[in-house]
Amino acid sequence: MNNKVIIILGMHRSGTSLTAGWLHSCGLHIGDRLMGAGIGNVEGHYEDKDFFEAHERILSAHNLPPDGLTYKELPPLRGNEKAQLQALINKKNERHATWGWKEPRTCLFTDCYGELIPDAFYVIVFRDYRSVVSSLITRLYKSMEEDILSEQHLGFFRRYFEKRKRLKTLLQQYATHYLKIWIHYNRKILEFVQQLPVHRYRFATQHSLLQSGSSFIERVKKQWQLSELEYIPFEERYKRKLQSRVLKIAPYIQEKKLLAEARYVFSQLTKMLELQ
C-alpha cells in the first residue's frame, strides 16, 4: 500500500488542536484513540494516544519531562525505541491508506520521523511567542484557580487580589522557561523543513486559516493528492471566546536577549508562511 502520512507539527498551545480537529472534520483520519478535553482545551486535544504514550515513554527514558516542555535536545533514539515507533507506524499504515497525527512532542522527534517516514507531508502550525507563553501560564493558573475559589472564607476582594498575586508569581517562575521552550520547538521546526522539498510542507496560523482555509485545503488536495478531503469552513471550528488573554510577559523575562531571539524566530516562521 502506498500510504500518505500527514504530520501536524507545532508547539503546545499553538493552535495544533484546533487545526487537527478542523482537518479531522475535513476528512483526514488523525487517530483511532484520541485525547479528550482538558483544562485549557475544552474542545478536545485531537491527539493520537498511541503517539502520545510512545513519546512520553521515550522522553522519560531519556530523563526529559514526559510532557515535552523542555528546551533540551532529545538524544538520538536507541534501536529499540526506533523499532517501537516503526511498529506503530506500520500498524497505522496497515489500517489506513491516508492518515496523520497531531502530538506537540513530535517536534522533538522530527529527525527520527524524517528517517522512518521519508515521504511524509507536514502541516506546520505556529503562533507568536507571547500568546503561547501566556496560554501555558494561563493553563497553569486555571488549574490553581479552583483552589482559590474553594476557599470560602475569602471575601470577593481578597480572592481577586489573591488571584492576581498567583498569576504574577507564575509569570515570575515560568515566563522565561516557557519562552526558551517556544524558541527551541520552533527552531527545531525551521531546521527540519530546510531538509524537505518545499511541496512536502505547508505553514499555517489560526489567522491564515480563517482568511484562506479554503485555498489551503484545495492546495494540499492537489499537491498531496488527498481527494478524500472536503472543505469545512475553519470558522466553524474556531471560537474566539476560547482564546486566552495575551499577558505582558516581557517584564518577567530574566534574559532579555531571549526576546530578540524569539522575535527573530517568529519573523522566520512568518516569512515561510508568506513565501509558500
Residue 41 confidence class, pLDDT cut points 50, 70, 90: very low
Taking alpha carbons only, the member of 73, 104, 264, 259 closest to residue 175 is 259
What helix, strand, coil percent values describe the chain, rounded to 5?
A: 60, 10, 35
CATH number at 231 reads 3.40.50
Question: Domains in the chain: how many in total?
Answer: 1
Helices (H) and strands (E) counted in the chain, each on its own, are 8, 4
Residue 163 has a pLDDT of: 67
How do residues 127-162 score in pLDDT, each as one tens digit?
Answer: 999 999 999 999 888 877 655 555 554 454 445 546
Taking alpha carbons only, the member of 266, 247, 5 closest to residue 123 is 5
Residue 46 has a pLDDT of: 85
Whether the pTM exceeds 0.85: the reply is yes
Phi, psi of 86 (to 5 degrees): -65, -40
Q: Would you say residue 117 has pLDDT above 60?
A: yes
Which domain does 245 fall in, by range? Answer: 4-275
Rounded to whole angstroms, the Cα distance separating 248 from 226 reads: 42
How do residues 213-244 score in pLDDT, each as one tens digit?
Answer: 999 999 999 999 999 999 999 999 886 666 67
Taking alpha carbons only, the member of 234, 206, 5 closest to residue 119 is 5
Residue 40 has a pLDDT of: 46
Rounded to whole angstroms, the Cα distance separating 168 from 162 reads: 10
Rounded to whole angstroms, the Cα distance separating 273 from 101 reads: 21
